[in-house]
Structure 1
Amino acid sequence: MHNYWRQCGYGLLDKTADGHLVVTDAFLRSLLERPELAPVAESCAGELALHHALLDHPRAEVTPQQLAAVSDEDARANYTIWLRFRQRLLAQPTLEGSYMQLFRGEGVDVPPLLVQQLTQILLRHILGAEASALQVRAAEMLFRTQKVSVLEDGQVMAADDETVERHAVAAGFGTIGEMLKQGGAPLRTAELDVLGEANADAYWQRDESHDLVISLNHGQPALVALCSVLARWVRHFLGTGVAIAIEREIDDEQWVWHVGLDAQASAVLNDLYQGNDVAPERMERMLCLFRLQFDEPSVMRPEIAGRPVYLAMAMDAGGRLKLKPQNLLLNLPLARLS
């Protein structure tokens, strides 16, 4: 039993009888304490008054006059964003419903940082306290960009992109950052903290440091853990069980459905499905292919019930992997949404 990601805000939310999350005033207050909104020494009287009023009543209506009284343009813009985000959070009875609604319509209109926080909170809830360290580390891939490096010996390593940038040449970080920035260093010459089954317990002391590397090679436990995370993500939101496993290739004359887990993979899968030529360098950036099967084919569209859904993930030209877990919620061939 582990209580991880304590700073994400999960502990401030309530739960419904059927296991979904509900936004609380305490959670809204925590958003007001973010650096973008917390008052500073230069904050004007209007900004201080608005901040105090919202801390007292985080669901209170804010008038145009109150916003106009915030003299700093950046602070005023941040409050406008916060109010729009609050509106999105409270638009549905549960956080799950609000999260799904963010991606419908004309597109997401709140900052990616806030969407990533919601994703992290929802994953914390879905995985629970009994998740393995490798499942939790794999889940980070769904809300934090990864920097991927293919080493000379063929190992495919993923590290947190922000951490790599911050510590690339910092003392005490070993050579992981520089190795991943440059690429191609043999593993035996790099001082890496690679998370695996043998040292999995190390994660729990560093769960919010985002400084552990995982291998994305076939047969490695991190990919198996990712399959489990994605399957639980689908079950929680869509109410239907799925099994997800790693595939080597799509050798299927009746290939009928696919979902890219990121923009790069979506584009490649679309081209392959349509019979278009795909440049070798784009294929080389494909990191993994998955096969998704529904436990109950009857939940699928009748014309394709029982057929597999192929998933894929790929890094971009800069070696970054930016997964979009919402793709799995919006693009599966369901007869109806739960």
Structure 2
Amino acid sequence: MTGQAPVGSLEPLQEFWLCGLQSKLALNERGWLQPNDDFWRLWLARPELALLEESCPAEIALHQALLERPSSSQSALLAAIADEDARANYQFFLRFRDDVLAAGTLEAAYLRLMRQPLMLPPLFVEGLVATIAGHLLAGNVDAFQVRAAELLFRTQRLSLTEGRLLCADLEGLDSRQAAAGLLDVLSPDNAAEFWRRGSAQPFALDLTHEVSNALGHGMSFNLTLKHSGLKALAKVLELWLGRFLGRPLKITALQKVDDSAWSWHIGLDVDSMRLLNDLYEDRPVDAARMAQLISLFKLELPGSYPKPIYLGLAMSSDKSLKLKPQNLLLNLPPELALLG
């Protein structure tokens, strides 16, 4: 065995995120991203496909051939790779590459994978999401939106600290805890430091709607957070869905839904979808599950859909969050459906 990590392992996707942020890919007439040889070389540089000292001659030859011509077919060399894991990793990569090339753009390939899954490891879909999300935020100077966009492709850990709901990158949090470090919470005061540090020392994002301040004598007031990460996330979701729908829309963070004509909802993760389904059907929801709800959002599409569509975001029982951006595309009303 070569010891190579399987393609499904959760390695950081910073290279694809940066590729999008730096706008390294050309656009087609629709403005969608076209893969190029350098994009495929990013995949070949990942640990799942990188050469090791014990790589066999066929693997070395295949890797070098793909680096020189990433779109070429090398079936003979692939079949000759001695290590089973290494051979499987290249098979996954080539299947994915061929599907993206057939689709023509990253966005079209993403929609195709949502419609007809190729049974590929999640890493490939996440790589597409990271690149597209990076492009959406290219040139954006709002640190809160850029940090919020990472939720589209990186698992988060939630914690309640002094009445504030903080969202930290799970892998970044694990590495900082291992080094006995503390995560900083992104704020207007340290936004410049966010740009300097990047993902090397990630910031937590405050997902609190408002903070309650006690004034004494039984008095208190609620302070709405001007720089809540929820507002930034709403904008990111707006950009994401708008990328595929190609029509005006607005997404706003809400604390509650007070709508007797509530007709459509979408959960942005597994837990919120189940929770919203139960609330919609008037099934009982206990306090523990309600406490998992992070936020609600209202999606409005003027001139395209007459009623608000409500979105939910929730943490799992272990306080992790795996946002699924594909849910916004898979679960639209039939009149707006992108995927048949």
List per-residue Cα deviations over 1:25-66 (Å, max 9, x = no partner).
221122112111121111111111111222222112232x42
Cα offset, 1:110, TM superposition? 2.1
Question: Which residue does the alignment assign to 2:310?
Answer: 310
Is residue 72 of structure 1 aligned with residue 83 of structure 2?
Answer: yes
d(CA) in 2 for partners of 1:286 and 1:210? 27
Residue 293 (structure 1) aligns with: 300
1:110 corresponds to which of 120, 134, 138 = 120
The one-character-per-residue Cα deviations of 1:175-197 (angstroms, maximum 9, x if unpaired) are x4xxxxxxxxxxxxxxxx11012
Letter in 2 for 1:54: L
Match of residue 98 from structure 2:
87
What is the distance in 2 between the residues matched to 1:274 and 1:7? 40
Give runs of aligned pairs for residues 134-213 of structure 1, distance below 5 A: 134-151=144-161, 153-171=162-180, 173-174=181-182, 176=183, 193-209=184-200, 211-213=202-204
1:123 to 133, 139, 158: 133
What pairs up with 1:43-82 in 2 under 5 angstroms?
43-63=55-75, 65-82=76-93
Q: Secondary structure at the match of 2:178?
A: coil
Q: CA deviation at 1:210?
A: 5.5
| Correspondence 1:248 to 2:255 | yes
2:268 is aligned, of 261, 266, 275, to: 261
Contact 2:15 2:42 in 1 (8 A): no
Deviations 1:243-288 (A, max 9, x none): 1112222221111000000011001001111121112211110000
Q: Greater strand share, 1 or 2?
A: 2
Partners of 2:199 and 2:125 lie apart in 1 by 18
CA distance in 2, matches of 1:315, 1:277: 19
User: What secondary structure sits across from 2:81 in the alignment?
Assistant: coil
What amino acid is the match of 2:99?
A: R
Name the counterpart of 1:27. 39
Structure 2 SS opposite 1:290: strand
1:227 aligns with 2:225: no
**Matched residue SS, 1:246:** strand
Amino-acid identity (%):
42
8 Å CA contact 2:16–2:131 kept in 1: the answer is: no
Tell me, in whole angstroms, the C-alpha distance in 2 between the residues paired with 1:283 and 1:336: 29
In 2, Cα distance between equivalents of 1:35 and 1:247:
41
The letter of the residue matching 1:158 is C
Instruction: Name the CA distance, whole Å, in 2 between partners of 1:137 and 1:288.
Output: 17
Name structure 1 gaps, 5 residues minimum: 177-192, 301-305
Question: How much does 1:71 deviate?
Answer: 0.4
Q: TM-score, normalised by structure 2?
A: 0.85
How much has 1:108 moved relative to structure 2? 5.7
Where does the alignment leave 5 or more consecutive residues of structure 2 unmatched?
A: 1-13, 210-223
Q: For residues 125-166 of structure 1, give each alpha carbon's deviation from its aligned partner in whole angstroms, at most 9, with x where no partner exists.
A: 112203411100011111111100012x32111110111122
Question: Which deviations, in whole Å up to 9, do the C-alpha atoms of 1:84-112 show, x marking residues without a partner?
Answer: 2112211212111111111113x462222
Structure 1 range deviating more: 262-271 or 44-53: 44-53
RMSD: 1.8
Work out the number of aligned pairs and report it: 306
* Matching residue within 36, 40, 56 for 2:52: 40
**The one of 281, 289, 299 aligned to 1:274:** 281
Q: Residue 91 of structure 1 aligns to a residue in which SS?
A: helix
Q: TM-score, normalised by structure 1?
A: 0.85
Q: Report how far residue 337 of structure 1 moved.
A: 5.1
Sort the Cα spacing of 1:169 and 1:47 in 2 relative to 1 into closer, same or farther, 3 A.
closer
> Equivalent residue of 1:324, what SS?
coil
In structure 1, what is the Cα distance between the partners aligned to 2:239 and 2:59?
42
Measure, in 1, the Cα distance between the counterparts of 2:311 and 2:336. 20
- Give me the whole-angstrom Cα distance separating, in 1, the residues matched to 2:278 and 2:102: 37
User: Aligned partner of 2:242: which letter?
Assistant: R
- SS in structure 1 at match of 2:307: coil
